[in-house]
């Protein structure tokens, strides 16, 4: 698996790369100090050459070497910019990061300007003698436009006021490209004008400290962009590409220094070095993009391998879970079977104990002392309670072991049957039961009656001092029927909302309210069997609402 850089590590060009760039920028000057000259030889046709064609050709070739070299360098810059913009757009397609194509377009425009200015110069010559100011001026204009474009675009990306950063949206993308192309056209127009102009201002002052003053403008622009704007831009849009833009300003600055302070003639040593450094400066963002690709590839690869491991882990966990579910189902079934068998089979001996203790009580009532009578009473009472518990347990286990299949039934009829079963306690307590017309559902008829009966029965039982008012309603919710049984009884404290659904869990003693604590556990089990949910909502002294849902896999109630 490929190791990713740590999160805190900044995404940037490697230090070795930056030092290499600095070295490349300084190296020509070092070579110069060692006596090496990069200038193109100035050769003039001397009459002594005569008609020796071979010599004429040699001299001509030598005299053209300078312009050949510059043309090669300018076109190299153009093609580097071209490849960079293609890569930048591909990057945009992959990452959706709008900064890359915009800056890519700026680079492309700069490259195009370099191309134009070389092209225009050669086209416009038409046999005319070349004005010595033309090439320095067009160079300065191209660099000035590039510097301006870079400064404006990156400044807009780092603008603090979010409203101005329309660049980050799709709309800004088109806008930025239009601006860049517009700049390109203006640059083309200005260069053409300069080329066609019969009188050009002096561009080279060989004996002055600033030999090419026109080139100080771009130099200042590059310095401002490099020192103030690009570091912020990199911080805000951290990528190898944005870092490479920052680094690319180094050779641009060196290039402009060579031009503005040291170049005293076209094709001289500093002139050629400046052209070479410009190509280097265009190559850096190109390398930045390539390295960004490499990084993205590594990241994707790492994510992929992590994903593969995670999928494998997931599969293993899934298998384990499946196994555990099967195990759980089996032990659950065993337990249910055990509860059923135990409660069923215990009934018979218990009935025997009950009848014989009762017999004992009847027969020996007057023959034993008061203590013995009391003990017999305790035994009878205990046996009765045990019978009650065992009956409840049997009822509980029957929910799954002896369940009927689910059918389309009227929940309204189930409710009415439940009310009918509770007739005596309803009359005794003078309970007022109201209900909406309930829907047709898919359920176990018998269990629905049991469910309503338990809930309404509790509403009556836990009424407190008030005469009970119980309301049963239903509504449609998320493809389920939601039923509610609301009463005006004693209510339940919030902390017991979970506990009351557990088997044999009660909140009251049998002296306060009779019962075994199985009713709600039975309701819960019935609802679970119907793939629904049962929960409670209650406020002490105000009343309780039991809600339950039944999935609506049949249409609405008629």
Can residue 517 be called a binding residue for ligand ADP (CB under 6 A)? Answer: yes
Q: In the complex, what is the shortest distance from the CB of residue 302 to ligand ADP, in angstroms, rounded to a whole number?
A: 55
Residues 6+ away with beta carbon under 8 Å from 17: 247, 287
Closest to ligand ADP by CB, 119 vs 521, is 521
433 and 399 Cβ atoms separated by less than 8 Å = no
Closest to ligand ADP by CB, 249 vs 500, is 500
Can residue 487 be called a binding residue for ligand ADP (CB under 6 A)? Answer: yes
Closest to ligand ADP by CB, 258 vs 398, is 398
Closest to ligand ADP by CB, 136 vs 489, is 489
Closest to ligand ADP by CB, 187 vs 520, is 520
Distance CA 543, CA 488 (A): 4
3-state secondary structure 47-62: HHHCCCHHHHHHHHHH
Closest to ligand ADP by CB, 104 vs 517, is 517
Question: Which residues within the stretch 443-472 sit at the binding site for ligand ADP (CB under 6 A)?
Answer: 458-459, 462
Residue span binding ligand ADP (CB under 6 A) among the ranges 41-49, 159-167, 231-239, 519-527: 519-527
Can residue 489 be called a binding residue for ligand ADP (CB under 6 A)? Answer: yes
436 DSSP assignment: -
Distance CA 301, CA 293 (A): 12
N-term to C-term CA, the chain: 62
Q: In the complex, what is the shortest distance from the CB of residue 490 to ligand ADP, in angstroms, rounded to a whole number?
A: 5
Q: Which residue's Cβ has the minimum distance to ligand ADP? A: 515
Can residue 548 be called a binding residue for ligand ADP (CB under 6 A)? Answer: no
Can residue 492 be called a binding residue for ligand ADP (CB under 6 A)? Answer: yes
Q: In the complex, what is the shortest distance from the CB of residue 477 to ligand ADP, in angstroms, rounded to a whole number?
A: 22
Mask for 495-514, x = binds ligand ADP (CB under 6 A) = -----x-----xxx------
Can residue 389 be called a binding residue for ligand ADP (CB under 6 A)? Answer: no
The token duo for 33 is: 């100090």
Can residue 516 be called a binding residue for ligand ADP (CB under 6 A)? Answer: yes
527 and 451 Cβ atoms separated by less than 8 Å = yes
Distance CA 103, CA 115 (A): 18
449 and 421 Cβ atoms separated by less than 8 Å = yes
Closest to ligand ADP by CB, 215 vs 487, is 487
Q: In the complex, what is the shortest distance from the CB of residue 450 to ligand ADP, in angstroms, rounded to a whole number?
A: 12
Distance CA 95, CA 299 (A): 13
- Long-range contacts, stretch 70-76, CB < 8 angstroms, 24+ apart: 70/118, 70/135, 70/266, 70/267, 70/271, 70/272, 70/275, 71/118, 71/122, 73/272, 73/275, 73/276, 73/278, 73/279, 74/114, 74/115, 74/117, 74/118, 74/275, 75/115, 75/118, 76/279
Which residues of this chain interact with ligand ADP, rule CB under 6 A? 458-459, 462, 487, 489-492, 500, 506-508, 515-521, 544
């Amino acid at each position: 698996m490929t190791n990713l850089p740590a999160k805190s590590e900044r995404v940037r060009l490697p230090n070795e790369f930056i030092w290499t760039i600095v070295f490349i920028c300084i190296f020509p000057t070092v070579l110069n100090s060692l006596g090496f000259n990069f200038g193109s030889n100035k050769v003039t046709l001397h009459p002594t050459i005569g008609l020796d064609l071979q010599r004429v050709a040699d001299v001509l070739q030598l005299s053209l070497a300078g312009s050949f070299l510059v043309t090669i360098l300018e076109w190299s810059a153009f093609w580097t910019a071209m490849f960079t913009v293609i890569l930048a757009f591909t990057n945009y397609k992959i990452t959706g990061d709008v900064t890359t194509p915009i800056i890519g377009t700026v680079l492309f425009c700069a490259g195009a300007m370099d191309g134009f200015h070389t092209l225009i110069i050669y086209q416009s010559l038409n046999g005319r003698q070349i004005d010595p100011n033309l090439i320095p001026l067009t160079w300065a204009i191209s660099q000035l436009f590039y510097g301006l474009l870079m400064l404006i675009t990156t400044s807009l990306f780092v603008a603090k006021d979010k409203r101005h950063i329309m660049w980050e949206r799709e709309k800004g993308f088109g806008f930025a490209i239009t601006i860049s192309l517009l700049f390109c056209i203006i640059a083309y127009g200005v260069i053409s004008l300069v080329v066609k102009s019969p009188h050009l201002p002096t561009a080279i002052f060989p004996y002055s400290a600033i030999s090419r003053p026109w080139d100080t403008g771009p130099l200042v622009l590059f310095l401002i962009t490099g020192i103030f704007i690009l570091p912020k831009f990199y911080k805000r849009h951290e990528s190898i590409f944005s870092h490479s833009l920052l680094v690319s300003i180094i050779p641009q600055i060196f290039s402009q220094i060579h031009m503005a302070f040291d170049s005293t003639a076209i094709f001289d040593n500093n002139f050629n070095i400046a052209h070479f450094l410009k190509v280097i400066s265009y190559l850096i963002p190109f390398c930045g993009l390539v390295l960004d690709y490499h990084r993205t590839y590594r990241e994707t690869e790492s994510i992929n391998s992590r994903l593969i491991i995670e999928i494998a882990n997931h599969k293993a966990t899934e298998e384990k879970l499946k196994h555990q579910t099967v195990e759980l189902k089996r032990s659950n079934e065993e337990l249910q079977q055990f509860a059923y068998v135990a409660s069923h089979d215990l009934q018979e001996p218990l009935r025997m104990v009950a009848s014989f203790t009762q017999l004992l009580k009847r027969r020996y009532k007057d023959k034993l002392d008061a203590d013995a009578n009391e003990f017999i009473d305790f035994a009878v009472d205990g046996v009765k309670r045990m019978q009650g518990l065992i009956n409840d347990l049997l009822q509980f286990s029957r929910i799954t072991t002896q369940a009927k299949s689910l059918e389309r039934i009227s929940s309204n009829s189930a409710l009415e049957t439940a009310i009918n079963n509770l007739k005596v306690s309803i009359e005794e307590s003078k309970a007022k039961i109201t209900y909406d017309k309930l829907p047709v559902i898919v359920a176990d008829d018998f269990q629905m009656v049991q469910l309503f009966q338990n809930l309404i029965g509790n509403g009556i039982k836990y009424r407190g001092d008030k005469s009970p008012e119980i309301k049963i309603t239903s509504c449609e919710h998320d493809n389920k029927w939601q039923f509610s049984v609301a009463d005006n009884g004693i209510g339940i404290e919030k902390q017991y909302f979970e506990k009351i659904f557990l088997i044999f869990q009660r909140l009251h003693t049998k002296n306060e309210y009779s019962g075994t604590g199985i009713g709600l556990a039975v309701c819960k089990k019935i609802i679970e069997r119907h793939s629904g949910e049962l929960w409670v909502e209650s406020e002490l002294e105000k009343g309780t609402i039991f809600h339950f849902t039944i999935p609506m896999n049949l249409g609405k109630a008629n």
